[in-house]
């Protein structure tokens, strides 16, 4: 029953048929998206990756046998049809080819189809996601999904073209590597040849790309799959794709940022039609925290944070006064015009939100016609209140939120409050794209759990040259030659200038509390590589999945990955991971601890 193509050759994709082809003999192939049988005429929408074309089976044109075959056609059958293109009687404005149709002379029925578990088309938007993932190959027939993956493919090509043009070489690095305890949890691969040992899948090609610089490849890139065995939050995947690059003979952040900025401008202008004829703004980490409480601020709206510590220092409100010492502060956001938008209950919800970021609470006040109504007024002098109103520029209808705590907590709480208010107030223009470089990150962060400093970026990041002396005296004050590109409040990518001096690397390892044995065990061969002539170098990595999400206007990462995994890291289509044969485990000389083998 299923026919072969024989001598049929497609002449054009369905979606690429134009009015200029009217009168021509065309051969098209695809899936039947829908069909209507009017008795002596059958209309079918034929779908391929380029779009849809109406094809017409006419009982007065086709043989009786062929017409019967046409009548057997159901949704998702695959056909190849030859015929002449003609103008359509009733125009369909919804599709590109809506003014024409193909009158079929002859056709082949290439494949029949059972009724699909869900209808392919707009209606499938409401289908249960698990069902769509189980039949992912069917969901991928939906134009919205197919378009996103086609754009992904084209963007990857554009990136490769651009970086090649800039002198970068794509060099493949290993997937079967070595497990390093630093960083996230590795996916392990047991070795059969060396029982008891394991490879690790790469979390990033970091070490390899730096070695390639030491080797003299000068400019490297790779669109590389990376792996992290973490408990997945929404919109994370255990395997994800990085646009990874590294370049030699640079020690200014700007050299790498310029390459990256050019790449981002290229793809956002090509695929979003943005005019990006300006330099992306640059902001220090300190300023970003100060103004937005975040190192990836969404600058598409205001609601900036202001520091009012000085204004409340020594006041009688203990919650404020106790937080006016070093490392603590009192900061506030004026939610302009929010008085009418926030009920008491909604304000309570925002206070609860702040508490999830460890804040003990939020003080707040509402400016009414009759005056400033706030809980802490009675503890402050009139002058102090006036100063706050002036500094925060509070007008009638505004709501003031104040957080007093350690800087870290204040930033986290007010940063989150800011985003929540913007959403509540619908302040974000979804058509706007704000690109922002964040620079001068702290080199070290104090890790309470490990009771030592850890590298904020990674231990190969170079400190700012002028801050090198501070490594010994005040590690928390050392800034790194690190940079992140933030797009609309999301970290699109980041990187750093690396340390090229062996001595400096040693100093940093010492500051991180790594013993010589630790260093040898973790990075031994890598640190040794620095002994043999290392060029100044730096690099950066972008998360490709997230870039594609922004380019295709989706907030679901699964929309931009052909065969994604769900939050518990399983693939509903193949049912991976799965049990394996005992023989396979025997060969690897490993056993399951639950005793099932």
Q: Closest separation between CB of residue 280 and its own copies, Å?
A: 21
91 touches its own copies by CB under 8 A = no
Q: Closest separation between CB of residue 270 and its own copies, Å?
A: 14
Q: Identify which range of 234-242, 293-301, 488-496, 511-519 contacts its own copies by CB under 8 A.
A: 234-242
Which residues, 252 to 271, sit near its own copies by CB under 8 A?
A: 252
588 touches its own copies by CB under 8 A = yes
Query: Which of 501, 516, 553, 556 lies at the binding interface for its own copies (CB under 8 A)?
Result: 501
4 touches its own copies by CB under 8 A = yes
Q: Which two tokens stand for residue 228?
A: 């992290």
251 touches its own copies by CB under 8 A = yes
Sorted by sequence, the CB contacts under 8 Å of residue 107 that are 6+ apart come out as: 57, 66, 69, 70, 79, 80, 81, 82, 83
188 touches its own copies by CB under 8 A = yes
5 touches its own copies by CB under 8 A = yes
Cα dihedral across residues 112, 118, 124, 130: positive or negative: negative
112 touches its own copies by CB under 8 A = yes
Nearest to 141 by CA among 45, 3, 11: 45
149 touches its own copies by CB under 8 A = yes
Which residues, 426 to 465, sit near its own copies by CB under 8 A?
A: 465
x/- mask, its own copies, residues 461-500, rule CB under 8 A, reads ----x----------------------------------x
Query: Which of 194, 349, 355, 368 lies at the binding interface for its own copies (CB under 8 A)?
Result: 194
3-state secondary structure 282-351: EEEHHHHHHHHCCCCCCCCCCCCEEECHHHHCCCCCHHHHCCCCCCEEEEEEEECCHHHCCCHHHHHHHH
Number of residues that bind its own copies (CB under 8 A): 132
162 touches its own copies by CB under 8 A = no
Helix (H) or strand (E) holding 219: strand 219-227
Nearest to 227 by CA among 162, 177, 159: 177
Q: Identify which range of 146-154, 317-325, 348-356, 361-369 contacts its own copies by CB under 8 A.
A: 146-154
183 touches its own copies by CB under 8 A = no
Q: Identify which range of 200-208, 272-280, 312-320, 425-433 contacts its own copies by CB under 8 A.
A: 200-208
Alpha-carbon gap, residue 438 to 480, rounded angstroms = 11
114 touches its own copies by CB under 8 A = yes
Instruction: Evaluate whether 274 touches 284 at the Cβ level (below 8 Å).
Output: no
176 touches its own copies by CB under 8 A = yes
Which residues, 510 to 549, sit near its own copies by CB under 8 A?
A: 525, 529, 531-536
217 touches its own copies by CB under 8 A = yes
11 touches its own copies by CB under 8 A = no
70 touches its own copies by CB under 8 A = no
Q: Which two tokens stand for residue 314?
A: 């020594």
Task: Provide the 10 A C-beta neighbour count for residue 432.
Answer: 11
244 touches its own copies by CB under 8 A = no
Residues shown for the chain: 597
Q: Which two tokens stand for residue 72?
A: 């057997």
Alpha-carbon gap, residue 315 to 237, rounded angstroms = 49
Task: Provide the 10 A C-beta neighbour count for residue 263.
Answer: 23
Smaller CB separation from its own copies, 211 or 416: 211
Instruction: Evaluate whether 63 touches 15 at the Cβ level (below 8 Å).
Output: no
Q: Identify which range of 34-42, 174-182, 264-272, 420-428 contacts its own copies by CB under 8 A.
A: 174-182
């Amino acid at each position: 029953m299923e026919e072969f193509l024989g001598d049929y050759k497609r002449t054009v994709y369905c979606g690429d048929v134009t009015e200029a082809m009217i009168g021509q003999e065309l051969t098209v192939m695809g899936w039947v998206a829908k069909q209507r049988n009017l008795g002596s005429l059958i209309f079918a929408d034929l779908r391929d990756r380029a779009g849809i074309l109406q094809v017409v089976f006419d009982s007065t044109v086709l043989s009786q046998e062929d017409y019967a075959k046409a009548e057997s056609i159901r949704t998702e059958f695959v056909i190849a049809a030859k015929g002449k293109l003609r103008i359509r009687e009733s125009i369909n404005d919804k599709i590109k080819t809506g003014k024409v149709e193909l009158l079929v002379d002859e056709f082949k029925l290439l494949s029949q189809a059972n009724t699909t578990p869900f209808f392919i088309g707009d209606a499938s938007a409401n289908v249960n996601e698990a069902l769509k993932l189980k039949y992912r190959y069917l969901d991928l027939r939906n134009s919205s999904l197919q378009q996103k993956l086609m754009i992904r493919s084209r963007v990857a090509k554009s990136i490769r073209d651009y970086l090649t043009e800039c002198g970068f070489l794509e060099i493949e690095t290993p997937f079967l590597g070595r497990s390093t305890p630093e960083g996230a949890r590795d996916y392990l691969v047991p070795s059969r040849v060396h029982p008891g040992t394991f490879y690790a899948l790469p979390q990033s090609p970091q070490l390899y790309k730096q070695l390639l610089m030491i080797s003299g490849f000068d400019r490297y890139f790779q669109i590389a799959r990376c792996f992290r065995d973490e408990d997945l939050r929404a919109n994370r995947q255990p395997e994800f794709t990085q646009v990874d690059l590294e370049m030699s003979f640079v020690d200014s952040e700007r050299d790498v940022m310029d390459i990256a900025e050019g790449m981002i401008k290229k793809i956002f202008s090509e695929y979003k039609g943005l005019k990006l004829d300006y330099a992306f703004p640059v902001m220090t980490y300190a300023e970003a925290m100060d103004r937005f409480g975040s190192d990836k601020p969404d600058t598409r709206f205001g609601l900036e944070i202001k520091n009012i510590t000085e204004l409340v220092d020594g006041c009688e409100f203990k919650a404020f006064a106790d937080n006016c010492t070093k490392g603590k502060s009192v900061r506030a956001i004026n939610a302009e015009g929010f008085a009418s938008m926030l009920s008491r209950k909604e304000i309570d919800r925002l206070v609860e939100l702040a508490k999830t970021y460890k804040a003990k609470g939020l003080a707040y006040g509402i400016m009414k016609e009759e005056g400033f109504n706030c809980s802490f007024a009675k503890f402050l002098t009139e002058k102090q209140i006036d100063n706050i109103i002036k500094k925060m520029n509070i007008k009638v209808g505004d709501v003031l939120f104040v957080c007093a705590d350690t800087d870290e907590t204040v930033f986290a709480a007010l940063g989150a409050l800011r985003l929540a208010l913007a959403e509540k107030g619908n302040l974000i223009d979804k058509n706007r794209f704000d690109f922002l470089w964040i620079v001068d990150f702290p080199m070290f962060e104090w890790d309470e759990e490990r009771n030592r400093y850890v590298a904020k970026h990674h231990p190969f990041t170079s400190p700012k040259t002028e801050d090198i002396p501070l490594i010994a005296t005040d590690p928390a004050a050392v800034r790194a030659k690190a940079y992140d590109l933030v797009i609309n409040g999301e970290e699109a990518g980041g990187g750093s200038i690396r340390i090229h001096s062996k001595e400096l690397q040693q100093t940093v390892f010492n500051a991180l509390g790594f013993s010589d044995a630790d260093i040898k065990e973790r990075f031994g061969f890598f640190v040794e590589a620095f002994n043999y002539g290392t060029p100044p170098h730096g690099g950066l990595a972008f998360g490709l999945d997230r870039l594609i999400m922004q380019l295709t206007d989706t907030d679901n990462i699964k929309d931009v990955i052909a065969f994604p995994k769900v939050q518990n890291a399983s693939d509903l289509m193949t049912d991976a991971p799965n049990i394996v044969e005992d023989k396979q485990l025997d060969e690897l000389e490993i056993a399951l601890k639950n005793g099932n083998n």
